[in-house]
Chains A and B, each alone.
Chain A
Amino acid sequence: MRRLAVAIFLLVASSAACRAQISAEGVFFFDRGHYWIELAFRDAAGRDTIPPDLAVRRFEITRLGELSGGFRPSKVEVVSREKGGPVVILASGRLEGRSCYRVKYTSADSGAIVVDSICDPFFAPPGGGDCGGKAFFRNYVAPAFQKEGDSYNLNQLKYEYDVSLEKSATSIVLAPRFKISGLELEPLFEQSMVVYELERTGKTQSSKRSFGLGASMAAWVEDLRLSLSMSYRDDRSVLGTAAGDSVIPTRSFTVEGRVRLDNLFDRANLYCVSVFKGVDIGAGCAWYQTGRFDWSTSASDKTAPYVNLRATWTFLYGFQLSYSLQTFWPSVLARGPTDFQSVRFRLLLRDALPAQAGKSYHPDLELAYDTGKRLPLFAKEEKVSIGFTFGLYPW
């Protein structure tokens, strides 16, 4: 009697093991105007196999989330593919897009095999989608800044108020980009007007007109993005005073090499709510001239090597914090290196607004703080501003 019980136990155990030897995976797809389910069966060794009995009654399809019972496919067909081995195709007019299905295959000798969650890639699970913070941003914050029907053709249009100097500034920047066989050209035109409203001197107005041209090339070397750029810029500042206008012309030419270090942040970028991007470091040299151009000025008085470190951190899907540190070594300054630092806090609206195909123009709300000395005048600057900008880059 005891031996009989052991024999029955072993029989049951071996039967269960045998049933577990066949596995299956499925995919839901759309082809030739219909939805289909494809099943691939594999044996214990992982080889493609086809169960011997593929009668329609052996299959039951259930739409996930529905309380009603399942249905049988109208047709079961074995298809041999050139790649991926033979598969079983289930056809039914009841299969619908944007849905998830469970398929149960019951065989007389191998028991039941269930393949769960065979989903159309366009299926949206109920309650899924945006997380709370992002949904709030997309639904309430972004629309507040949306202008329907506007065509954004400007790179930057900004109004700012400088708290420290009691001045308001309006600027417009046009810098379209053209790509010609790997070379990116960026002509620049910038016009700005600053109005000082100081109690001591009254209202004083100054304007600045700039134009320039930049050219750059970039290439990937393994995981690093290397770029080389050159740019020329011509500025003309006019300060209106009671005694007459004071004009300060300046010119600068820079050559710069830059390497992007984004891939060093792979580990830190594991979570999409906090991502470091645009991390790069550049080094270059600027030749600049203030006042009337004069070839007799010695070359050492006109050069300023520099390094520039930049990093951008985007977080909570809609916010971006950028920092840039530019250190110059202008030989005309006896006190050694001088820095210019920029901090930008941006409310990104790019994803929330209708996409403009092929363009990355997007409006952002930006709070900026700039301080330090920089080309071409190396005059002390410090300002806090808030503006509505259309920028291609975080800088």
Chain B
Amino acid sequence: MSSWLALRKRMRLDIAKAFSARSGASARDFLLVFYDPPVPPLIGDFDSQYISDEAVLQEILSAMSETTGLKPSLVRSYFSRTETFAQFGEHLLRAGAYSKEKT
């Protein structure tokens, strides 16, 4: 198993990749604006402004499901517009993200 420091860093990059690849924000800007600030904006801010429709959101969550090895329904259940992306990532880590990977 990886250290939590490594898991957090990996989740940060994976979320940035998944959400920026399917929206109008670059990964760098996504991290700068939505992930790294001491008080980051909520997912709802990103969702209502960058994600054009539900289909795009489903694609993003499917990508997160593939990356983390978690079931799509589980990833979807932790996606809350009233939380931050770091909290979303933390939910996934606590649910066992990456744990199915062979070392």
The interface of chain A, by Cβ under 8 A from chain B, is 25-27, 29-31, 38, 40, 79, 81-85, 87, 121-122, 125, 128-129, 134, 179, 184, 218, 220, 260, 262-263, 265-266, 269-272, 275-279, 314, 317, 348, 350-351, 355, 357-360, 392-393
Do the beta carbons of B1 and A82 come within 8 Å of each other? yes
Do the beta carbons of B5 and A38 come within 8 Å of each other? yes
Do the beta carbons of A81 and B80 come within 8 Å of each other? no
The main secondary structure of chain A at its interface with chain B is: mixed
Q: Closest CB of chain A to B61's CB: distance in Å?
A: 10
With A121-B86, A265-B24 already in contact, the answer to whether A272 and B76 are too (CB < 8 A) is no
Point out the residue from A85, A269, A278, A314 that lies within 8 Å of B29, measured CB to CB.
A269
Do the beta carbons of B6 and A83 come within 8 Å of each other? yes
With A278-B52, A317-B48, A392-B53 already in contact, the answer to whether A81 and B39 are too (CB < 8 A) is no
The main secondary structure of chain B at its interface with chain A is: helix
Point out the residue from A40, A275, A358 that lies within 8 Å of B76, measured CB to CB.
A358
Interface size on B, residues (CB 8 A): 45
Cβ contacts B32-73/A at 8 Å (1 or 0 each)? 111000110110111111111111010000000000000000
Do the beta carbons of B48 and A348 come within 8 Å of each other? yes
Q: Closest CB of chain A to B65's CB: distance in Å?
A: 15
Task: List residues of chain A with CB within 8 A of the CB of B76.
Answer: 357-358
Task: List residues of chain A with CB within 8 A of the CB of B52.
Answer: 260, 262, 277-278, 393
Task: List residues of chain A with CB within 8 A of the CB of B26.
Answer: 263, 266
Do the beta carbons of A83 and B48 come within 8 Å of each other? no
With A84-B2, A85-B3, A272-B49 already in contact, the answer to whether A263 and B24 are too (CB < 8 A) is yes
Q: Once bound together, how far apart are the Cα atoms of A226 and B30, in whole Å?
A: 23
Q: Once bound together, how far apart are the Cα atoms of A393 and B34, in whole Å?
A: 24
Q: Closest CB of chain A to B93's CB: distance in Å?
A: 8
Task: List residues of chain A with CB within 8 A of the CB of B5.
Answer: 25-27, 38, 40, 84, 87
Q: Once bound together, how far apart are the Cα atoms of A103 and B94, in whole Å?
A: 23
Task: List residues of chain A with CB within 8 A of the CB of B80.
Answer: 355
Do the beta carbons of A83 and B3 come within 8 Å of each other? yes
Do the beta carbons of B25 and A84 come within 8 Å of each other? no
Name the residue of chain B whose CB is nearest to the CB of A357. B76
Do the beta carbons of B3 and A317 come within 8 Å of each other? no
With A218-B55, A355-B81 already in contact, the answer to whether A81 and B48 are too (CB < 8 A) is no
Q: Once bound together, how far apart are the Cα atoms of A393 and B51, in whole Å?
A: 11
Q: Once bound together, how far apart are the Cα atoms of A63 and B21, in whole Å?
A: 38
Do the beta carbons of B87 and A275 come within 8 Å of each other? no
With A122-B87, A129-B39 already in contact, the answer to whether A266 and B55 are too (CB < 8 A) is no
Name the residue of chain A whose CB is nearest to the CB of B84. A121
Do the beta carbons of A125 and B48 come within 8 Å of each other? no
Q: Once bound together, how far apart are the Cα atoms of A247 and B87, in whole Å?
A: 58
Tell me the chain B residues, 1-39 only, with Cβ under 8 Å from chain A: 1-6, 8, 21-26, 29, 32-34, 38-39
Task: List residues of chain B with CB within 8 A of the CB of A314.
Answer: 48-49
Task: List residues of chain B with CB within 8 A of the CB of A355.
Answer: 80-81
With A30-B94, A262-B24, A317-B45 already in contact, the answer to whether A81 and B53 are too (CB < 8 A) is no
